[in-house]
């Protein structure tokens, strides 16, 4: 691992949406807490023609809109760290001007690249030619990194020609979320789950990432991508890997990523009938009418805005345990959660007394509710003259209550700081990305072979009824 803390940060796509909503607010919040280091300079670059002051004005507006006043600290101090250099990624002279603007870092430079896929190769080339890829430079890469295994290899090869893997930081912003990192704490800092965390004791796992938003302003990107590539290939497979991996040797980038990649390599090829795709039609979200996908897009399309998958992991621990995953736009509520459904007790002593046991269930709420709930069986108080009473009751930890004195953070705060300081643990390694794409590509070719078209669902519903049937066929109900 490269051990230097960068004193320069170069943001590509600095005037884009991600920068406005996430990156600049995250950096400002870190600075307000004194976490950025006193000398750090942040250089923004993008196509827009702007000077330093123009960028500072842009940043000020973004911060006022997207960062609560209480987290801004001394805005002037943060804005003073910012400068800007316009760039044409296809013009090598432009990169020389950029290198001049960046100057010579005292310790090192971190680059955050969120750029259109078509500009990837010229950008890497420009960085290399202008000396912005030397030994004390590391690079963070934002998605989309390709649309399939082949295109992701082209991008990864281009990056690898200029940066070694230990200086490449592939971002999956879900790994920056506290509640996602908490999966590791829950599993490996407690004794009680791990002995039960296997096919002998777990009936199935559900992973849901539901969104209420539609296309937003990302028309071109989303229609070429669809839910499978936009959400499953990255975020959902990372959640699955964290839930399913073997205990790592220690908390470091190599150990954790070694275990995740083993899970990703063990994913069984999915049959087309184990997937359901959908596309939303006009409907209502929390009482407000919303248009259908085609109408938002302005043309007909076969892109899926919903996908449900029944997956399996072919290894000793998980043999035969279904992992039901679903994600979609315009669903009834925004929620990301993981449900671990345990098996029933092998023999119930209460059976003869007319009481039924309900299997335990662990629900890990990732967002917006950050709760962990374990359902346990308990005796219903009473004298039991009409039979023994048992009821499933929740044992709940509400993170906002348990950690009320802790700041809620934007996922990118953690990721940007780790990039600046050079810790790769929460970034995705090349072999992980490629294993993810391999599994996704096989699903897509199955759809193509069968000419599978997305089923329709009404905006505000939980997707096509076939997605409900996918689980119900196995006697499983999606947790809502």
Q: Does 203 bind ligand BG6 (CB under 6 A)?
A: no
Q: 203 vs 370, which CB is nearer to ligand BG6?
A: 370
Least distance in angstroms from the C-beta of 211 to ligand BG6: 5
List, in sequence order, every beta strand (DSSP E) within 87-153: 109-113, 137-141
Q: 236 vs 470, which CB is nearer to ligand BG6?
A: 236
Residues in contact with 412: Cβ distance below 8 Å, sequence separation at least 6, in sequence order = 22, 23, 26, 173, 176
Q: 4 vs 120, which CB is nearer to ligand BG6?
A: 120
Residue 170: which H helix or E strand, with range? strand 168-170
- How far is 248 from 245, CA to CA, in rounded Å? 8
Least distance in angstroms from the C-beta of 233 to ligand BG6: 10
Catalytic positions, written as ranges: 235
Q: 41 vs 211, which CB is nearer to ligand BG6?
A: 211
Q: How many residues does the chain have?
A: 480
**Beta strand 275-281 with 455-458: parallel, antiparallel or unpaired?**
parallel
Q: 173 vs 430, which CB is nearer to ligand BG6?
A: 173
Q: Does 370 bind ligand BG6 (CB under 6 A)?
A: no
Q: Does 211 bind ligand BG6 (CB under 6 A)?
A: yes
Q: Report DSSP letters for 258-314, one per residue.
A: HHHHHHHHTBPPPPGGGEEEEEEESEEETTEEE--HHHHHTS-----SEEEEEE-B-
Q: Is the dihedral of CA 153, 154, 159, 164 positive or negative?
A: positive
Judged by CB under 6 A, the residue of 230, 274, 296, 370 near ligand BG6 is 230
Least distance in angstroms from the C-beta of 173 to ligand BG6: 6
Burial-class residue 95 by CB neighbours within 10 Å (0-12, 13-18, 19+).
Answer: buried
Least distance in angstroms from the C-beta of 409 to ligand BG6: 12
- How far is 156 from 475, CA to CA, in rounded Å? 42
Least distance in angstroms from the C-beta of 229 to ligand BG6: 9
Give the total of residues touching ligand BG6 (CB under 6 A): 2
- How far is 145 from 152, CA to CA, in rounded Å? 6
* Residue closest to ligand BG6, measured at CB: 230
- Whether the bond into 425 is cis, omega within 30 of 0: no
Q: 56 vs 143, which CB is nearer to ligand BG6?
A: 143
Note the residues at the interface with ligand BG6 (CB under 6 A). Answer: 211, 230
């Amino acid at each position: 691992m490269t051990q230097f803390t960068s004193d320069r940060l170069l943001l590509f796509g600095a005037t884009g949406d991600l920068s406005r909503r996430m990156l600049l607010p995250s950096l400002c919040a870190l600075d307000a807490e004194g976490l950025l280091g006193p000398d750090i300079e942040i250089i923004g670059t993008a196509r827009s023609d702007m000077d330093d002051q123009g960028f500072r004005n842009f940043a000020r507006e973004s911060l006022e809109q997207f960062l609560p006043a209480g987290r801004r600290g001394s805005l002037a101090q943060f804005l003073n760290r910012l400068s800007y250099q316009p760039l044409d990624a296809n013009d090598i002279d432009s990169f020389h001007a950029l290198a001049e603007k960046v100057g010579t870092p005292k310790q090192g430079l971190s680059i955050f690249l969120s750029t259109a896929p078509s500009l990837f190769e010229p950008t890497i080339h420009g960085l290399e030619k202008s000396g912005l890829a030397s030994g004390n430079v590391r690079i963070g890469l934002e998605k989309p990194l390709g649309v399939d295994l082949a295109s992701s290899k082209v991008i990864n090869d281009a990056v690898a020609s200029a940066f070694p893997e230990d200086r490449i930081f592939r971002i999956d912003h879900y790994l920056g979320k506290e509640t996602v990192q908490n999966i590791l704490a829950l599993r490996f800092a407690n004794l009680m789950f791990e002995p039960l965390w296997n096919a002998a004791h777990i009936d199935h796992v559900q992973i849901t990432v539901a969104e209420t938003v539609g296309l937003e302003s990302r028309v071109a990107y989303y229609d070429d991508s669809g839910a499978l590539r936009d959400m499953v290939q990255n975020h959902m497979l990372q959640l699955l890997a964290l839930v399913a991996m073997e205990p790592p040797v220690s908390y470091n980038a190599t150990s954790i990523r070694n275990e995740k990649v083993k899970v990703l390599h063990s994913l069984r090829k999915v049959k087309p009938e184990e997937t359901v795709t959908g596309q939303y039609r006009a409907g209502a979200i929390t009482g407000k009418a919303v248009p259908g996908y085609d109408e938002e897009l302005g043309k007909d399309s076969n892109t899926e805005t919903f996908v449900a998958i029944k997956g399996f992991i072919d290894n000793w621990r998980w043999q035969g345990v279904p992992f039901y995953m679903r994600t979609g736009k315009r669903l009834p509520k925004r929620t990301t959660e993981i449900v671990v459904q345990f098996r029933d007790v092998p023999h119930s002593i209460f059976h003869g007394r007319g009481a039924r046991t309900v299997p335990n269930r662990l629900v890990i709420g990732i967002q917006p509710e950050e709760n962990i709930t374990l359902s346990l069986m308990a005796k219903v108080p009473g004298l039991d003259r009409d039979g023994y009473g048992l009821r499933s009751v929740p044992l709940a930890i509400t993170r906002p209550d348990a950690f009320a004195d802790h700041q809620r953070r934007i996922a990118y705060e953690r990721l940007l700081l780790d990039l600046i300081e050079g810790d790769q643990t929460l970034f995705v390694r090349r072999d992980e990305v490629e294993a993810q794409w391999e599994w996704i590509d096989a699903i897509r070719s199955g759809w193509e072979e069968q000419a599978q078209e997305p089923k329709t669902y009404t905006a505000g519903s939980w997707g096509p009824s076939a997605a409900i049937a996918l689980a119900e066929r196995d006697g499983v109900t999606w947790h809502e």
